Structure 1
């Protein structure tokens, strides 16, 4: 007896079933249309150059906290990851928790933005967004939620302008860029960033996207496509898949000078930890972060390892420091069902306890 029994009739049945599924799936894909980016109603309240500051519409039944919350997202990828779909929306969860939520959309830099620096982004764009929100609400301070690179930016901003930040929340935020398990840091440590920026000007988003995908090449470029025929059968699963794919490959170019400083000062020289970091006229000292801090990290984060975030505990000057550990990954902390039930409510509770 052969070790593998092959029956021609079963093979034909399986091939026919597969062909029918593929045909129907391709039709579903063709009918999917454009996938919306962001689902919660919002209003643009301030614009400057490529930047747009949005305010999200809160549920009428929820009493809003008097101090608004500004989400500062990374320059890499797009901020609608925080509002991917109705049942996977950090923004919606924060609104339901009573937060009055604003968000900065940095836009898509082009050649005109080649020489924008971190000083331009933090002491320029971000600072003016904070001032706009303070003016609208007649306040001196607001709450800030910084995500990933946006969390690092928020830490630097809070160290430079502590008088404008009531509470600071950092989510999957790198602080120590030289932890042993930081694969991205090991990769870029010996890259000649000056030559790269001098040659290319702005750094193409496609290059960064390729870098991130290759941190987990099998999982991010192969494994997830194995069940595509089955995914194509279910419109809901297909829409979810397409939303994620759209976000993954929606990668803005990076302003050359900002990229140069961020890679050299943070990834290569680890100045946020070691000292010597300057942004514009300011020397960044995390001891100046004296407002309450909630530091949220993901236990299985391959981009920002937990230890890279937890290093913040020994650096900030506040006596009110709290950590929140999430059992998931860098993306799951925004979009997983478990995250929706735990992270936004925890942020809302923490903020309300301090105001």
Structure 2
């Protein structure tokens, strides 16, 4: 049973600290409105990055470095040793003598894998760059007194500046570009210039990247047959047509992330999770989120729970009466589903049968490099930007996500498209990723503050409709999937669901990243995963111990999950449920909103 304390009984100072930026609306005082307008204009110019946060991190680092003479000595010694190693390598490599590299790139760094980088003088350039990169990592880390967050910000900023100066990015120092120019008589530069002009024109007119027109929702992607059976101001609920004469009695409801379109889980027919479920005798429902505008700026997290997930659960319960729901949540949709499940348990509503969380975090204390962009100053900056617009455009967040993998998503792409003149073929997943959405001001502020910044959900401080909820109240069997190369939901963070003791947990760690690891259909080459079940009441295993003990399997994790779903479906098989009435054919209207 949950008990709430009336806000008026709390000390005004404590209440203000707990709720630092209450919505202002029309009550914003003129001086503060002027400040917020200035901040919003500056945030638009900086891509939403707060210069105050960067300045504080740099000051913290510089002042502590200035007072660390032993660190200076260590850095000078490291610089001397690295220079000597490079000069020794250069003297041998210059005469063609076989010699061992000074330094090897990190496993995830693919920039210098081409054989041309091992030929003089390019081998000297890449070795000098890697040694320099390693030295700057030593400069920006390991300084006593610097806060962990500031250290991470400074190290990240230094890495971005170094990546800009990589020899990969310049014609004269990139052997592959030089070879292509010689081989093609400069035609690669002409193609690159045309590519650059086209990209500029598309960006200026708000068009998606070239090639996305090959993957249109309802035509090439999101084509699993179904009907929209419910629509409110926030969601459409799609029910998919059955593909088998009988189905499991318990239906499946999928809650996608609200920051992107739902059809990542219904891409092309060969890799559609929805089509796979329907073909394996499941009745499937999907939430499709409305793409908010400035008129929706006051929609908050409570609205997304109540009028989003809870509304969809009520619709499914009405359509499939007498059966509990196997609910699935992806990314932040999984976090929202966990909040909803806890709220339902708190109110005594027994509508859920099981939960599946796909690349979804419930604890945000170690949310990876995305936390570099989340502190009090940064969120305040974004709130002022959203105060002016009424929402945050996903394109305004895209830059931050790209910087997390700048080598792969920025510089390597620029080299291939503009220096080598090669367009990577568009894929359904890339086209989906470019189909950006917006986020209402209040909701975005709610989840940044209450989830990322304060970690209220995992700490038991999160409130729905004013009442505190606890994840430990859920008590439903849970299947959680994390991906090995996830920059959005790091797998060790996702693994913390094991600290919620009141349920049976099957946990999967699959190869791939945040999106490609989930869209991992059977037959997809190179896939593998770890899997283990922790029955309710068993002791906790830390992530490394868990991996060592888990069973490793080759292939897609989808069949393992379907086996688990079959085990959760205890009411047997029933005749397939035809979708006789609806508000229109899938994929509906909301997915087409721009």
Whether the TM-score (by the shorter chain) exceeds 0.5 is yes
Picking from 181, 184, 193, the partner of 1:14 is 184
Alignment of 1:219-234 (within 5 A): 219-224=408-413
Picking from 194, 210, 224, the partner of 1:40 is 224
Q: CA deviation at 1:304?
A: 0.6
Alignment of 1:58-69 (within 5 A): 58-60=242-244, 63-69=246-252
Give the number of the structure whose alpha-carbon radius of gyration is greater: 2
Could you tell me which residue of structure 2 aligns to residue 188 of structure 1?
374
Could you tell me which residue of structure 1 aligns to residue 425 of structure 2?
238
Picking from 170, 175, 179, the partner of 2:362 is 175
Q: CA deviation at 1:189?
A: 2.3
Say whether the 8 Å CA contact 1:286–1:316 is kept in structure 2.
no
Say whether the 8 Å CA contact 1:94–1:345 is kept in structure 2.
no
In structure 1, runs of 5+ residues without a counterpart are: 5-9
Say whether the 8 Å CA contact 1:299–1:305 is kept in structure 2.
yes
Q: CA deviation at 1:19?
A: 9.5
Q: CA deviation at 1:118?
A: 1.1
Q: CA deviation at 1:170?
A: 0.4
Is 1:160 matched up with 2:359? Answer: no
CA separation in 1, counterparts of 2:275 and 2:470?
34
Is 1:330 matched up with 2:514? Answer: yes
SS of the counterpart of 1:327? strand
Could you tell me which residue of structure 2 aligns to residue 351 of structure 1?
565
Say whether the 8 Å CA contact 1:72–1:103 is kept in structure 2.
yes
Is 1:272 matched up with 2:457? Answer: yes
Q: CA deviation at 1:191?
A: 3.3
Alignment of 1:70-85 (within 5 A): 70-85=253-268
Measured at CA, do residues 217 and 141 of structure 1 come closer, stay the same or move farther in structure 2, by a change above 3 Å? Answer: same
Is 1:309 matched up with 2:494? Answer: yes
In structure 2, runs of 5+ residues without a counterpart are: 1-119, 122-179, 199-208, 529-554, 571-594
SS of the counterpart of 1:332? coil
SS of the counterpart of 1:191? helix
Say whether the 8 Å CA contact 2:236–2:287 is kept in structure 1.
yes
CA separation in 2, counterparts of 1:32 and 1:257?
31
Say whether the 8 Å CA contact 1:116–1:255 is kept in structure 2.
yes
CA separation in 2, counterparts of 1:55 and 1:294?
23
Could you tell me which residue of structure 2 aligns to residue 216 of structure 1?
405
Question: Under a length normalisation based on structure 2, what TM-score does the superposition of the two structures give?
Answer: 0.52
Measured at CA, do residues 140 and 68 of structure 1 come closer, stay the same or move farther in structure 2, by a change above 3 Å? Answer: closer
Q: CA deviation at 1:95?
A: 2.2
Say whether the 8 Å CA contact 1:90–1:334 is kept in structure 2.
no
SS of the counterpart of 1:238? coil
Question: Under a length normalisation based on structure 1, what TM-score does the superposition of the two structures give?
Answer: 0.84
CA RMSD of aligned residues (A): 3.0
Could you tell me which residue of structure 2 aligns to residue 204 of structure 1?
393
Q: Aligned residues, how many? A: 336
Q: CA deviation at 1:186?
A: 3.1
Picking from 265, 282, 286, the partner of 1:103 is 286
Q: CA deviation at 1:11?
A: 7.0
Could you tell me which residue of structure 1 aligns to residue 315 of structure 2?
132
Measured at CA, do residues 211 and 171 of structure 1 come closer, stay the same or move farther in structure 2, by a change above 3 Å? Answer: same
Say whether the 8 Å CA contact 1:209–1:248 is kept in structure 2.
no
Say whether the 8 Å CA contact 2:250–2:323 is kept in structure 1.
no
CA separation in 1, counterparts of 2:223 and 2:501?
35
SS of the counterpart of 2:364? coil
SS of the counterpart of 2:485? coil
CA separation in 1, counterparts of 2:256 and 2:487?
18
CA separation in 1, counterparts of 2:253 and 2:425?
32
SS of the counterpart of 1:127? helix
Q: CA deviation at 1:68?
A: 1.0
Picking from 556, 570, 576, the partner of 1:342 is 556
Alignment of 1:279-318 (within 5 A): 279-318=464-503
Picking from 230, 234, 254, the partner of 2:439 is 254
SS of the counterpart of 2:439? coil
CA separation in 2, counterparts of 1:111 and 1:91?
32
CA separation in 2, counterparts of 1:186 and 1:20?
38
Q: Which is worse superposed, 198-207 or 335-344?
A: 335-344
Q: CA deviation at 1:285?
A: 0.2
